[in-house]
Structure 1
């Protein structure tokens, strides 16, 4: 008779074959592991696709926000110039001249605000501040 009192649980004894239940369980676990790895790969692929679409949507929204801001600065400059010119004409009775002059000034101010916001003016001012190369 074989003494099994000193055997540790979970360890196979030498020369013993694993029972059929244990082999079937091992096969099922291996199959489950393979299916889970395929599902994880599919889910990671879907997440990467969704992430790329989300980033492009955010970039589109950001570009639209910048475009709306720049266009509103231009329109605001023209509108404020026209309003000041109209008020100037009403106050001094110089019918179209105040409106024309301040409309032009408002347009110029609007264009300069757009250029400053877009970074064009900042680059030019940095270039002008730098000392000339010797």
Structure 2
């Protein structure tokens, strides 16, 4: 009787070990899926940031050009020039975000501020 009981216990242990192995495999797969989903969300966020910076620079350039033309009366030339400047600013912003163009070093910015504003 005790032999039969021990065999049943061994069988249950084997079944439990196999079920735990299956659950661990599923947990690892879910962890990988969550990690991939998080990377995808970060990518979408970065894409939205880049596109909004690019589009907003173009819109601001066009708006400033339109206002310049309206008040000065230069025809479409102010808008054309400012639209191109806005496009260039948008491309520069995108390149800074992506990392192709570095932002000014903080020490350089501090030197510029010291040269301009303190009057020494």
The TM-score, its normalising length taken from structure 1, stands at 0.71
Q: Which residue of 2 is the match for residue 47 of structure 1? A: 27
1:71 aligns to what SS in structure 2?
helix
Report the CA distance between 1:23 and its aligned residue: 2.6
- Cα distance in structure 2, aligned partners of 1:94 and 1:122: 36
Structure holding more helix per residue:
2
Q: Where does structure 1 lack aligned partners over 5 or more consecutive residues?
A: 1-19, 130-134
CA distance in 1, matches of 2:23, 2:71: 70
Kindly report the root-mean-square deviation, in angstroms, between the aligned alpha carbons of the 2 structures: 1.8
Are 1:29 and 2:13 matched, yes or no?
no
Match of 2:57 in 1: 77
User: When the two structures are aligned, how many residues end up with a matched partner?
Assistant: 106
> Whole-Å Cα distance in 1 between the matches of residues 19 and 71 of structure 2?
76
Give, in angstroms, the shift of residue 33 of structure 1: 0.6
The within-5 A match list for 1:85-124 is 85-122=65-102
Aligned to 1:63: 43
Q: Stretches of 4+ moved more than 2 A in 1?
A: 22-25
Deviations 1:64-107 (A, max 9, x none): 22112111111010000001111111111112011011101111
TM-score, normalization: structure 2?
0.79
Alpha-carbon displacement from aligned partner over 1:17-66 (angstroms, at most 9, x marks no partner):
xxx2x333222211111000000111111112222222222222221221
